[in-house]
Structure 1
Amino acid sequence: MPSILGGLKGSDESWCKIEPVIQVPASTDEIVTTVSSAVKDALLGKPLPLLSDPDHKKAKDLLNGIHDKEVAALFGFKATALSNAPFRLVQRVTAGSNPDHVQTGQSFIALSYCWLSNDWKKKESSNSARKSKVPISLALFEAILAERASENEGIWIDQLCINQTDKQEKAVAIGAMDVVYQRARLVTVVLEDIVLDPLDESTLRELMETYDRGETWVHSEKMSSNRRLTILTWKILSARWFTRAWCGHEFLVSNNHIFLLQTESNKVVKMTTAFLLDLILLQSAYLSAVEQDEFAALSFAHGRQRRMLHRYASPQFQTKWSVGKQQDPLYTPSFTRAFSEVFGFDATYVVDKMSIVLNVLQCGLYFKGPNSMTYDQCCYIFHHIALSARDPTIFSTSGKRLEQAAWMRSPLDSDVNEPLFMGSKHLRLEHAPPFSNDGIELDLVVLATSRTINRPTSRHRVWANRVLKRCIEHADAFPAKFAFLIHGLRLESDDDDMAEDGPYTQREFYLDLLACLHECPGGIDWLVRSWEQWSPHLFDEASEQRIRRAMSLEYDEGTQLTPTQADDMVDIIYLLDDIHFPLQVADGRPAWLATPGTGNGSTDAIVFLCPPGNRTGPEYSVVIPRMLLSATYNMMRRLWYLSPTVIPGPQAQAGVNQKHGWEVVGKSCFFGQVEPGELKSTGAILQAQMICR
């Protein structure tokens, strides 16, 4: 069983300060100055890595690869946006100063905040009676000014530094915004809608004082304080900032941040990202140690924000934004994953998310298209970009069909499943297949049909059902993080028979999956290998032995488990939790298919999720596009289920000279010991097949 983190110790990067509100100096004002080209180049850097010849060529190739000229016309080069965008800074000056005489420092601070809305107003400041054009409270703005490297260091605030009435300027400024945040000396994240109460403040001081003394915060000795810090952390993560697409973009592309909040006692709290990550670790330690998670509802409401912060702020992830870092031309980031993640956040205008995706991908393009577009329209033009980039993950999409092209699908969060720090890097396709709005042409490797794949047999389902029952019996020995999973297993029926026409429950999913892994050749070996890949920090030789023992035991009714066998059940729960990440209950029902093994005459198998339905339903073919056989695509839905259909068009409507194609009725990841390239020899190859739905 994985060990619980014993304690935390402060570091130079992890700090928090609680400071009194600074009074605004009398006779001062905030002005916006436009910096000269020379100063702009000095602050933003010239030449930038993204403006170098290799990167500009990459952007040019990407734009030229979009064969639909109307779609291509919606994009321009990042270099153009950066060159044409005016660069302005907000500076604190003595009232009545001549803006032309204001000096600009050698660095700048960028502000990340939420714009005001009708249902959320700016908090009035008590540190000044004067009005200000700054779009945040003066108490927090004064705290930001205190972080300046010099009095001449300016603050970049999008609302003031971009002409909001000039559509052309807004387009180029948005296209260059990632460069602004990447080059800022400091990014200040303002959480105006969160106010800390006296208990929050005193608990923070307790942790800060422990850090200041150089002592370790020992979890077992601080359970009461850890509970209060857990509540405080959920309060911080409930801030509106964590749900906004622009805010996530600003945080993601920058490297040095501090968070600012206010307290009920009129103080300002400043904390580094490292300190906020420490709070998340303390929260995890507390939830792992208690028997019951009283904050399950908060975890459900704000868990996504917690995962986003942890991922984006982790050093392994942040290295991708290092200035001058070059990408391997043989590989491409997952355009699909970036699109899905960005469009999962909130934004006032949907089309803004298209600009954010391009900035995040660092592909050298910016969006100059219309100010208003639907989600489907954004998704449609994004397919053209991803195909031009030869991104294989665009073929993993399994959401709803797009109106403009029925073979295109919107991406789901689970379409590209990757471990946290893989960096979302994939081998680029050798070429983009030919396509139009009517369909896309692919070579297919046919592996089986719905009649020949293997569903779990009753004997192995009975075994799996016994396993789940024992998990429930020993639930008290499991960490609190699995309470939701165990609760679901307890609620659902123990009936071994799966009703094809009824709802497919989480319990049935786990039962069928365990049965498949227990039954198919090499299933247990895959289970060991997959856990090692997905959770290397929890895996060791002892873990492998526990998994093999747990999967080999019969769990006969009426027999008592030994203490060792009962401990092994904990690993079953960890496996169920880990398996649920790449394989989702809603995706289908577990099945397996035998394949030739690596040894002489041996047999292996692949495990996957097939569409609901029994063997007597409409037949479909189980295929894999030939271009997706590479082992680097193992996190994708590359196993497709196809049924024959008629290609749409005038001929189809007339009923004469009809052309036949394929409709995708489902997609799945697949797993197993077999190398994907070996599947090419297991089935027939159909060339130039049209996928039209």
Structure 2
Amino acid sequence: MYMATPPLLPAFSSRAGQLEFVELDEDDIDTENLHAHVVLPEAKHLLLSDTLHPGAVVAGQQDLDAHALLLELARLAPSVAKDFAPKGKDGEGVVFRLVDEAGLGGAESGYVAMSYCWGRDKENGGLPRKMVSPVGDLPFGWVRTVEQVPLPVGRSLFEAVVRERGVGEGLWFDQVCINQEDDFEKAAAIGAMDTIYKNARKVIVALEDVLAEESEELFLRWYAEQYEKSELPGHQQPHLGMNPPFMQRFPLLRSFFERMLGSAWFGRAWCAQELRMGRSIVFLVPSLVDEEDGCYTFVRITSAFFLHLLILASECLQLFPSLNSRISSLLLLFLQKTRNDERDAIMVRNPGVLLSPENELPTPFVPTIAEIFRQNASGNSRLPEYLRRLDANRDKTAIALSAGKLPIRMKPASPLQRPTIEDECLRQLLLVGIAAHDPVALCTTGAPLCLHDGSVSWLTHPSSQDIPSSHLHHPLPRFTPKTPITQSSDGRAEYAQLDLVFLDLPHRSHSNPNFPTYVQRARHYIELCMQYFTLLPNATPSFTSWQTPHNPRAPAMKNVFVQTLACCFECGPQWLLDVSARIQPPEHVVAPQAAEALFHPHLAAETYINTPDGRHAFTSVLNLLGAVVALGIPWASGASERTCGPMVVSLSPSPSPSPLEPLPFDSPKAVVFAPFAHSKTLLVAVPEAVKMAEYGVLARGWVLTPFQSFTGSRSPGATVNWTLQGKTVVFGGAGFEGGLGGREGMGGHRVYGPVGVGLASPATV
């Protein structure tokens, strides 16, 4: 059950107002007097500066400088650097408009921002419409031009959004507040989107495609009273921990929450960005009522109450099978949002109070790219379909830069720019990440990027699996390469040139005669676990999932577990303990006594597995094997247990002059996963930039094959060409990691993407 540690929650001073109902009469709806004004420079500086929310710190981003980043990008990939520009600080260079009544005239003291789904069929393409008064209405032949604000949502819902403003506040929403026909203004505004949403007092989310049923609204009204009357302390959640769970007992609450999360808004890339950047969120959900009486009702939900719904839902995730990942990610995000709400409330009640610096959760750049490109973006609706899809890819690129809190933005599109197909956009973003010395950008594990000219890049698709979830909000340090990484093209394909540290393959140069015995013992242990798996209730799902009759994956999965355990036996018990401590949570770490027992050559395994200590030992080692298999096989690239297997690599006590020179048998060892198809020709190398132990959770083991038919020794200063066939985590013990960190990378290596991959099908648009 989630929330094992309630003190993590903010201590709300009051639950009142977290769930409310906004009621409007047809006669109360008045949007005719709203106009879009350019905010005066003094007001704009105040509204878009960080002085409103001092102390916010984003881990890992403070030392990024736009000009230094662009210089590094120009050295790495000049053709990419020209498409980016520094982002103005505090909205510098942005034409900032707000919608309000004409009286404020651009001198607003604050603003709220609206978030909604584009897509309503609007006259004039959703752009502001200019109305010119007839000649003769005004004296001296004057005419009056009024720019009417088009409504992004229905009139009643828009009126509910407008009423969220405070005194002296305006409303910002992109459809009107950005000149959609000015590419330069649009590019600057998109680059400053994080600043605009971050500095809004609150972001109002208009879920127009969701309707609360009448029965659900009645239940929510009843529940609002119960929720506010709860006597629990502010940091605890009412109705948590009930049996059965509260949301399971009340299907009306469950159906409303499920319909709300099913809104198209949660799947749109721009909306997800606006949600991340907004400090405080308010959802407005229309209620299904009879419109003939001219009355409209909207369910108003704050960040705190939405967090409450997420926590209740997390107790019964089996009821939301298609929404589990969405609930989990939103839960973490809204914990931060509600802390912001409570912090702002404290500052309002005590204007002079000094609060500790506010630490925002860091946003890992590469997994964020993968998440954004899985979401939807519509592009410019005025463009033809094909160009609109390309424009949507540009939107996602801009969103990724902003979400990653990078200090650069995209320039307006140039006619000479490479087509913005999805893989080209991903290529740009990964090169930006490498220029920013982000280690994850070097270690992506997806399929190779297929570029517009039909060639295959050495860069690969980013994936949510590129960094373990335990490290998502603990940023890895930026790498500092000894020599700059560069990329270029030789007319056939582009390549990266960088320093590599080559690892030895003991099975070729100094094979262990005991390895067949290790395989035999490993097979015996795994077969015992398969026989007694019902006695191992806490075994990893990666093992139990194929323990079903006639499962087609069973033979290959059994083999990969056997081979991985045999590699563990070759590396030794201390290796196993080191790797377990590094990649597993504390409650699953293998105990020394368990490793000692299972590594004993004369262990009576059948007897041992029937004891409590034995079952615990076998379970803990199975869980380690499952973690190694899950992290080691590059699943995102299309690899599987049928195409990849484990192998042992090693380090010599001193640097080797050649990647093919034999190494001593007792050198520090590690386990990697490599494709069977290239087992006779492959070598394994680690980029010098990510050789240090802190990058050990990443897929930094590059599986290389010679670019030509043969690559042997080379003269000093010569260049060697390699083909990148995959990437893998290098599972090394403490001795291996220390030795690898002390190695000097060898220069003069060019790495190409695999030849022929993806050429049969066009790149994704």
Same fold by TM-score, threshold 0.5 exceeded? yes
Secondary structure of 1:426's match?
Answer: coil
**Could you tell me which residue of structure 2 aligns to residue 113 of structure 1?**
116
Partner AA of 1:414 in structure 2: Q
Partner AA of 2:212 in structure 1: L
Structure showing greater Rg: 2
Partner AA of 1:591 in structure 2: M
* Structure 2 residue corresponding to 1:212, chosen from 225, 229, 233: 229
393-402 vs 415-424, greater mean Cα deviation = 415-424
Secondary structure of 1:110's match?
Answer: strand
Deviation at 1:576, TM superposition (A): 6.9
Secondary structure of 1:196's match?
Answer: coil
Show the 5 A alignment for 1:2-21. Answer: 5=4, 12=12, 16-21=18-23
* Structure 1 residue corresponding to 2:396, chosen from 341, 344, 353: 353
- Aligned counterparts of 2:97 and 2:474: Cα–Cα separation in 1: 34
Partner AA of 1:240 in structure 2: A
Once the two structures are superposed, what CA deviation does each residue of 1:279-331 show, in whole Å capped at 9, x if it has no partner? 333233234xxxxx4x4xx53x3334234323433439999x9999899xxxx
**Could you tell me which residue of structure 2 aligns to residue 86 of structure 1?**
95
Show the 5 A alignment for 1:228-239. Answer: 228=251, 232-239=256-263
Show the 5 A alignment for 1:39-188. Answer: 39-45=43-49, 58-65=65-72, 66-67=74-75, 68-79=77-88, 82-91=91-100, 93=101, 99=102, 102=105, 104-116=107-119, 133-150=150-167, 152-188=168-204
Partner AA of 1:636 in structure 2: L
Which consecutive unaligned segments of at least 5 residues does structure 2 have?
123-147, 233-237, 290-295, 345-354, 379-391, 654-664, 710-717, 754-765
**Could you tell me which residue of structure 1 aligns to residue 548 of structure 2?**
490
Deviation at 1:156, TM superposition (A): 0.7
**Could you tell me which residue of structure 2 aligns to residue 191 of structure 1?**
207
Whether the 8 Å CA contact 1:463–1:515 is kept in 2: the answer is no
Whether the 8 Å CA contact 1:524–1:551 is kept in 2: the answer is no
Shift in CA distance, 573/269, structure 1 to aligned 2, threshold 3 Å = farther
Whether the 8 Å CA contact 2:110–2:200 is kept in 1: the answer is yes
Shift in CA distance, 137/574, structure 1 to aligned 2, threshold 3 Å = farther
Deviation at 1:199, TM superposition (A): 5.6
4-13 vs 514-523, greater mean Cα deviation = 4-13
Whether the 8 Å CA contact 2:646–2:674 is kept in 1: the answer is yes
Query: Is structure 2 residue 439 aligned with structure 1 residue 392?
Result: yes
174-183 vs 445-454, greater mean Cα deviation = 445-454
Whether the 8 Å CA contact 1:198–1:264 is kept in 2: the answer is yes
Shift in CA distance, 663/133, structure 1 to aligned 2, threshold 3 Å = same
- Aligned counterparts of 2:306 and 2:594: Cα–Cα separation in 1: 35
Whether the 8 Å CA contact 1:443–1:687 is kept in 2: the answer is yes
Shift in CA distance, 286/692, structure 1 to aligned 2, threshold 3 Å = closer
Shift in CA distance, 576/63, structure 1 to aligned 2, threshold 3 Å = same
> Alignment identity in percent?
22
Once the two structures are superposed, what CA deviation does each residue of 1:392-435 show, in whole Å capped at 9, x if it has no partner? 32221232144366323332332233525534332332353233
Query: Is structure 2 residue 729 aligned with structure 1 residue 669?
Result: yes
**Could you tell me which residue of structure 2 aligns to residue 302 of structure 1?**
323
Deviation at 1:450, TM superposition (A): 8.4
Partner AA of 1:436 in structure 2: S
Shift in CA distance, 325/358, structure 1 to aligned 2, threshold 3 Å = farther
**Could you tell me which residue of structure 2 aligns to residue 626 of structure 1?**
688
Whether the 8 Å CA contact 1:104–1:153 is kept in 2: the answer is no
Partner AA of 2:12 in structure 1: D
- Aligned counterparts of 2:553 and 2:430: Cα–Cα separation in 1: 44
Partner AA of 1:347 in structure 2: A
* Structure 2 residue corresponding to 1:607, chosen from 645, 653, 671: 671
Deviation at 1:666, TM superposition (A): 1.5
Show the 5 A alignment for 1:377-456. Answer: 377-398=424-445, 399-403=447-451, 406-419=457-470, 421-430=472-481, 431-438=483-490, 439-449=495-505, 451-452=507-508
Deviation at 1:139, TM superposition (A): 3.6
- Aligned counterparts of 1:263 and 1:247: Cα–Cα separation in 2: 22
Secondary structure of 1:140's match?
Answer: helix
Query: Is structure 2 residue 602 aligned with structure 1 residue 561?
Result: no
Deviation at 1:630, TM superposition (A): 1.1
Secondary structure of 1:406's match?
Answer: strand
* Structure 1 residue corresponding to 2:585, chosen from 535, 539, 546: 535
Whether the 8 Å CA contact 2:506–2:650 is kept in 1: the answer is no
- Aligned counterparts of 1:571 and 1:270: Cα–Cα separation in 2: 48
Shift in CA distance, 550/359, structure 1 to aligned 2, threshold 3 Å = farther
Whether the 8 Å CA contact 2:22–2:300 is kept in 1: the answer is no
Query: Is structure 2 residue 307 aligned with structure 1 residue 258?
Result: no
Deviation at 1:158, TM superposition (A): 0.7
242-251 vs 430-439, greater mean Cα deviation = 430-439
**Could you tell me which residue of structure 2 aligns to residue 591 of structure 1?**
647
Deviation at 1:185, TM superposition (A): 0.8
TM-score, structure 1 normalization: 0.76
Show the 5 A alignment for 1:237-256. Answer: 237-256=261-280
Whether the 8 Å CA contact 1:333–1:425 is kept in 2: the answer is no
**Could you tell me which residue of structure 1 aligns to residue 369 of structure 2?**
339
Once the two structures are superposed, what CA deviation does each residue of 1:529-562 show, in whole Å capped at 9, x if it has no partner? 135xx535x569xx85897699679795598835
Which consecutive unaligned segments of at least 5 residues does structure 1 have?
94-98, 120-130, 288-292, 499-503, 648-657
Shift in CA distance, 406/510, structure 1 to aligned 2, threshold 3 Å = same
Shift in CA distance, 552/117, structure 1 to aligned 2, threshold 3 Å = farther
Shift in CA distance, 7/545, structure 1 to aligned 2, threshold 3 Å = farther
Deviation at 1:677, TM superposition (A): 4.9
Whether the 8 Å CA contact 1:516–1:523 is kept in 2: the answer is no
- Aligned counterparts of 1:670 and 1:246: Cα–Cα separation in 2: 36
Secondary structure of 2:309's match?
Answer: helix
Calculate the aligned-residue CA RMSD, in Å: 4.5
Secondary structure of 2:284's match?
Answer: strand
Deviation at 1:184, TM superposition (A): 0.7
Secondary structure of 1:136's match?
Answer: coil
Count, aligned residues: 627
Query: Is structure 2 residue 333 aligned with structure 1 residue 285?
Result: no
Deviation at 1:161, TM superposition (A): 0.8
- Aligned counterparts of 1:527 and 1:203: Cα–Cα separation in 2: 51
367-376 vs 574-583, greater mean Cα deviation = 574-583
TM-score, structure 2 normalization: 0.70
Shift in CA distance, 607/659, structure 1 to aligned 2, threshold 3 Å = closer
- Aligned counterparts of 2:497 and 2:692: Cα–Cα separation in 1: 19
Deviation at 1:445, TM superposition (A): 2.1
Partner AA of 1:174 in structure 2: I
